[in-house]
A and B are shown apart, each in its own frame.
Chain A
Amino acid sequence: MINFLNTYGFLIVSMLFGAVLGLSVYLPLMAGQLSLATPGFYALGGYIAAILSTQVFKFTGTIFPFPFLLIELLITTLVSAILAIALGIPVLRLRGIYLAISTIAFVEILRVLALNLEITGGAVGIFGIPQPFATPLEYLWVAIPLLILSMLFLYRLEKIKAGRAFSAIREDELAADSMGINPTYYKALSFTLGAILAGLVGTISAHFINTWNARQGTFDSSIIYLAFVLIGGSRTFWGPVLGGIILTALPEVLRGMGGMSSLPLWLAQFLRDGRLIIFGVLLVLGSIFYPQGLITPELLNKIARKNPFRGILNKQSIKG
């Protein structure tokens, strides 16, 4: 077991990060806003960690002090929130595809800035980011609490006034507006919460993968994170969590399957080199045959009826 965990430590932690990134796309979607800005904030969080840990905190030693990491997370939260509010208020006036396009533009502008500025290390990026943990697996000490806290937060959010306002705006913005819900405020709120989550994952990831460059937040990743939500399910927060976990693991699982010796040679080679082809096919099939995603509120209800732990899942039915 320990051996297994050590071998797959990197993948397991990445899967949890994937789940949180899925939630980051899901948050604005709760209020009906399709934002593809997640990779931008992810990259930003990573740069904050990379720059602070290599240039500002002058520490000597092998293990990066944990309190420094917490300070970085705090700074990321503040910076992401300020940027998200500044960006969100003008951009969120746009609807549907226009909002999606403008957030793509935001991500690309950040990427070009990162490629050209000196402080971000230009095209080469920043290397040798100190590690707060000795092995990849130990990052679970941060990844698990981050995922659980964000899930609890979303679980709670769906019940309180803000969450209900989100769904109201999602269903019909004009009607929500006329009921006295301020759409701009709640749209900006959902966008900002999503941005903060993405920034936090980026900050930890920069330490986790030890190096950070402009390839970390690109258009490709926008799509992959969106797929986490749409394939996993966009009507309950369980969807993006599951989608993030499965889709992060999928290419690696396919790679592993390609290494099995019992397979015919051509199939093994295809599984190894054609993993992304399979990933793309799944995106197409998923959107055609599972338009609601794998996890829907109805499915949760069905499970809840048979499940002794009714409490957690059952409340979803109110939204169904």
Chain B
Amino acid sequence: MDLNLFLQLFLNGLSIGSVYAIFALGYTLVFSILGVINFAHGAIFTLGAYFTYTLSGGVFGFNGLLANGKLPFQLPFFVALILGSILAGLASILLERLAFKPLRVRRADPLLTLVSSLGAAVVIVNVIQYLVGAEIYTFPDNIYGNIPAAINFGTETRPIMIRTVQVIIFGVCAVIVALLTYLVNGTKIGKALQAVAEDETTASLLGINPEQFITITFFVSGLLAGLAGTLVGSSVSIAGPYFGISFGLKGLGVIVLGGLGSIPGAVIGGLLLGLAEAFVPPDFSGYREAISFAILFIMLLVRPEGLLGRKRIQKV
């Protein structure tokens, strides 16, 4: 493999990997606070993509209840992206209130929380389908304004072409990860969050209101999912209401690889998975989807706590 091809694949991998990373960050945040996997995370991802599509002036298809409808106004893409992600965050808070909190109050079995979050995912996905139909939605070509479609990192004769969307995605993700790391490690909110994750009862004795932080966590988690959904949607297209399900499963691979509940783990896991997928030879591209699961499987057998996770001590 020559160097240019290597660089090309490497950059492709980083770009998709960074989306996996922000998607998985939301997953892992909720896991670190509540110790349960939020299976509706993929559905929130889908929801975020649809919110941004609608806000940026997209027209609905002809199959759903809202056939051929659109908003009376149209926002610039980046404004829509931010608002759409915030709406996804709010939806995530609502999800927590309806599908997680009632179970937490009853101290129910974590398995039931899993089923309830899956039920919520089924509801979200099917409500979307009921309202706007099952067809593929494409963002308009010029959403990113007048910037060129591709950037050349190589020379004139041996180009390494990267789509501008990919560069934007990578940039946005880098900023998000930096902000989130600062939020968790450098601020009071972050310290409190860590305290709640460590031990909810002790944290509440120290004057921290766990409920408040659970709400914040779900908001941030939904925001990140919505952001990831829009970024993927704008780089390919929104492939119908089931768009987020496969992402949800891949995200599992990412967080197990990095270590369940570990924030840097989610970033590293996401980037590694993106790179692994980018370097799959074209002849085996059909098996690309299985890579995350194969990695996950091996990781669970060799080191279940993941690359950066901590071993959970089994109390007798």
A binds B: yes
Complex-state Cα separation, A8 to B297, whole angstroms: 41
Interface residue B2 (Cβ < 8 Å from any Cβ of A): no
Question: A227 and B245 in contact (CB under 8 A), knowing A105-B296, A116-B286, A288-B102?
Answer: no
Question: A108 and B287 in contact (CB under 8 A), knowing A227-B115, A288-B106?
Answer: no
| Contact bitstring B31-56, A, C-beta under 8 A = 1, else 0 | 00000110100000000000000000
Complex-state Cα separation, A105 to B293, whole angstroms: 5
Interface residue A94 (Cβ < 8 Å from any Cβ of B): yes
B residues neighboring A (CB under 8 Å): 36-37, 39, 98-99, 102-103, 106, 108-116, 118-123, 126-127, 130, 245, 249, 252-253, 256, 260, 286-287, 289-290, 293-294, 296-297, 300-301, 304, 316
Residue of A109, A116, A230, A276 touching B297 (CB-CB under 8 A): A109
Complex-state Cα separation, A101 to B260, whole angstroms: 11
Complex-state Cα separation, A287 to B103, whole angstroms: 8
Report yes or no: B116 in contact with A109, Cβ–Cβ below 8 A.
no
Residue of B119, B252, B304 touching A287 (CB-CB under 8 A): B119
Main secondary structure of the interface of B (DSSP, over half): helix
**Which residue, of A90, A174, A284, has the highest number of chain B Cβ atoms within 10 A?**
A284
CB distance from B120 to the nearest CB of A (A): 6
Report yes or no: A291 in contact with B289, Cβ–Cβ below 8 A.
no
Closest 7 CB pairs of A and B: A283-B119, A280-B122, A280-B123, A112-B290, A105-B293, A287-B116, A284-B119
Shortest Cβ distance from B123 into A: residue: A280
Interface residue A113 (Cβ < 8 Å from any Cβ of B): yes
Report yes or no: A106 in contact with B297, Cβ–Cβ below 8 A.
yes
Residue of A90, A226, A279, A291 touching B109 (CB-CB under 8 A): A291
Report yes or no: A284 in contact with B106, Cβ–Cβ below 8 A.
no
Report yes or no: A276 in contact with B119, Cβ–Cβ below 8 A.
no
Report yes or no: A116 in contact with B287, Cβ–Cβ below 8 A.
yes
Q: List 17 A-B contacts (CB under 8 A).
A: A34-B111, A91-B300, A105-B300, A109-B294, A112-B287, A112-B289, A219-B245, A223-B115, A226-B115, A230-B115, A283-B116, A284-B99, A284-B120, A284-B123, A287-B116, A287-B119, A288-B116
Known: A105-B297, A280-B122. 9 other contacts (CB 8 A): A91-B300, A108-B289, A220-B245, A227-B119, A274-B126, A282-B119, A283-B122, A284-B120, A287-B103
Report yes or no: A108 in contact with B249, Cβ–Cβ below 8 A.
yes
Report yes or no: A274 in contact with B130, Cβ–Cβ below 8 A.
yes
Q: Which residues from B are CB-within-8-Å of A291? A: 106, 108-109, 112
Interface residue A115 (Cβ < 8 Å from any Cβ of B): yes
Shortest Cβ distance from B127 into A: residue: A277
Report yes or no: A276 in contact with B256, Cβ–Cβ below 8 A.
no
Report yes or no: A273 in contact with B245, Cβ–Cβ below 8 A.
no
Chain A residues 200-220 with CB under 8 Å of chain B are 219-220
Complex-state Cα separation, A145 to B118, whole angstroms: 33
Total contacting residues, chain A, CB less than 8 A: 41
Interface residue A259 (Cβ < 8 Å from any Cβ of B): no
Complex-state Cα separation, A22 to B132, whole angstroms: 33
CB distance from A52 to the nearest CB of B (A): 25
Report yes or no: A277 in contact with B123, Cβ–Cβ below 8 A.
yes
Report yes or no: A277 in contact with B112, Cβ–Cβ below 8 A.
no
Shortest Cβ distance from B98 into A: residue: A284
| Contact bitstring A104-145, B, C-beta under 8 A = 1, else 0 | 111011001101100000000000000000000000000000
Shortest Cβ distance from B293 into A: residue: A105
| Contact bitstring A260-298, B, C-beta under 8 A = 1, else 0 | 000000000010011011011111101110010000000
